[in-house]
A = this chain, B = another copy of it.
Amino acid sequence: MSLEPPTAVRPQPPAPGPVLGPRLTLPQPLLLQSGVALPSVTIAYQTYGTLNEAASNCVLLCHALTGDQFVAGTHPVTGRPGWWDDLVGPGRMIDTNRFFVVCTNVLGGCMGSTGPKELNPDTGRPWGLTFPVITIRDMVQAQAKLMDHLGVKQVFCVAGGSMGAMQVLEWAHRFPERVFCALPIAGSYRHSAQNIAFHEVGRQAIMADPDWCHGAYLDEDKIPKRGLAVARMAAHITYLSETALHRKFGRRLQGREALTYGFDADFQVESYLRHQGLTFVDRFDANSYLYITRAMDYFDLAAENGGVLAKAFDKTPVRFCLISFSSDWLFPTSESRAIAHALNAVAANVSFVEIDSDKGHDAFLLDEPEFHQTAQGFIDGAAAIRGLPRRSV
């Protein structure tokens, strides 16, 4: 029996460069929620479509924990379609013939935006753990600076799933006059104890890897691949429902007729998870994983508003559509319902739909026609109110 842990040498995430698309470097330090002033902040982003004269057709898409700015088209690093490629493009749900779509790599990320992998301008060495802890609010503040740069005073729609939904809610809370409508999907207004617990397992897996080098692995020319792969494997289970895992894999064996009585990946689900772990380390930075999970853990819109979530949205002019998925146990429907209740309490314009799906949390990235119809209806309705042209098909 072979007991090799995942150690195969693989290509590393690319250094930032033209391949990662346009980048904006802020002229001033960004004052973070922690109180730290972060210098030389760079935001890598992608745009699709054209901003209209009134600058009223911008759709800002916010990516999830391990996503990035490459929402549509072919990802330049992985060679795979962008995370919402099915939904973003000419004639698609987010129609690039009528919308100017923007997606940034979040602050703290590893696809070209300032994060622990980038160089600290004061030292010329990678930030590593000297990078300050950032929050969802910080990510949104950086996005707002980009919107300023692009000449967008009010975003037509801010949309995103999972951590993207947290950013959407933060946008609506922090900049209510700059958001026409908001589409938080499979999200939450605060990370739960179980959410924090799973993130902590992932962080401990990374930090337990000696190649993490107390965060200074780039200086040491090492990568904590094993720890990061384990973190990804644990997280990946939480993105799927038990039903989805059962349908996808059940107890089927992987390329063999019978159990081997060993520790090879006898079961397809084991092989799949190992693959998820292995491929993840090719495209993601371990320290970024620490920082971004921490940002999610820290997010709590209720606590920031005296424990009353409704206060976060008092007198909000934003039109909301909340979407959850029935089999999502990471950000269950009860979380979206709590947001809906808070919005109702301040008489906000809100619709809330739970999509019947057995695909788990990841449903927001998958082919779920009812979800797409719901989101499409909301966007088209809001666009009509906003006076934007109809969809091109």
- Confirm or deny: A112 has a beta carbon within 8 angstroms of a beta carbon on chain B: no
> Is the CB–CB distance between A246 and B192 below 8 Å?
yes
> Is the CB–CB distance between B270 and A197 below 8 Å?
yes
CB-defined contacts of A203 to chain B, threshold 8 Å:
263
- Closest B residue to A200 by CB, please name it: B270
- Confirm or deny: A204 has a beta carbon within 8 angstroms of a beta carbon on chain B: yes
Distance of A201 Cα from B210 Cα, bound (Å)? 18
CB-defined contacts of A192 to chain B, threshold 8 Å:
242, 245-246, 251
- Confirm or deny: A117 has a beta carbon within 8 angstroms of a beta carbon on chain B: no
Distance of A192 Cα from B243 Cα, bound (Å)? 10
> Is the CB–CB distance between B297 and A267 below 8 Å?
yes
CB-defined contacts of A230 to chain B, threshold 8 Å:
201, 204-205, 208, 230
> Is the CB–CB distance between A196 and B34 below 8 Å?
no
> Is the CB–CB distance between B3 and A251 below 8 Å?
no
Distance of A103 Cα from B265 Cα, bound (Å)? 32
- Confirm or deny: A63 has a beta carbon within 8 angstroms of a beta carbon on chain B: no
- Confirm or deny: A294 has a beta carbon within 8 angstroms of a beta carbon on chain B: yes
- Confirm or deny: A191 has a beta carbon within 8 angstroms of a beta carbon on chain B: yes
> Is the CB–CB distance between B204 and A277 below 8 Å?
yes
The quantity of this chain's copies bound in the complex is 2
Chain A 270-301, CB within 8 Å of chain B: the 1/0 string? Answer: 10011001000000000000100010011010
Chain A 229-256, CB within 8 Å of chain B: the 1/0 string? Answer: 1100110010010100110111100000
Shortest Cβ distance from A211 into chain B, in angstroms? Answer: 9
Q: Which residues 335-391 in A have Cβ within 8 Å of B in the complex?
A: none
Shortest Cβ distance from A160 into chain B, in angstroms? Answer: 22
Name the interface size band of chain A: 35 or more
Query: Binding site of A, secondary structure by majority: helix, strand, loop or mixed?
Result: helix
Q: Which of B6, B234, B263, B267 contacts A290 (CB 8 A)?
A: B263
Q: Which residues 139-195 in A have Cβ within 8 Å of B in the complex?
A: 190-194
Choose among A230, A237, A274 the residue with the greatest number of B CB atoms under 10 Å from its CB.
Answer: A230
Chain A 187-227, CB within 8 Å of chain B: the 1/0 string? Answer: 00011111011101101110111100011000000000011
Q: Which of B132, B194, B237, B290 contacts A198 (CB 8 A)?
A: B237
> Is the CB–CB distance between A245 and B193 below 8 Å?
yes
Q: Which residues 15-48 in A have Cβ within 8 Å of B in the complex?
A: 34, 36
Q: Which of B200, B262, B270 contacts A196 (CB 8 A)?
A: B270
> Is the CB–CB distance between A133 and B262 below 8 Å?
yes
Shortest Cβ distance from A263 into chain B, in angstroms? Answer: 6
Chain A contacts to B: CB under 8 angstroms? 1, 3, 5-6, 34, 36, 129, 132-133, 190-194, 196-198, 200-201, 203-205, 207-210, 214-215, 226-227, 229-230, 233-234, 237, 240, 242, 245-246, 248-251, 259, 261-263, 265-267, 269-270, 273-274, 277, 290, 294, 297-298, 300, 303, 329, 332
8 closest Cβ pairs, A-B complex:
A208-B226, A34-B261, A133-B261, A193-B245, A5-B207, A200-B270, A194-B242, A193-B269
Q: List 18 contacting pairs A-B, 8 Å CB cutoff, sorted by A.
A: A3-B207, A5-B204, A5-B207, A129-B263, A132-B261, A193-B245, A196-B251, A197-B233, A200-B267, A201-B233, A203-B263, A204-B274, A205-B230, A207-B263, A208-B209, A230-B230, A234-B234, A263-B294
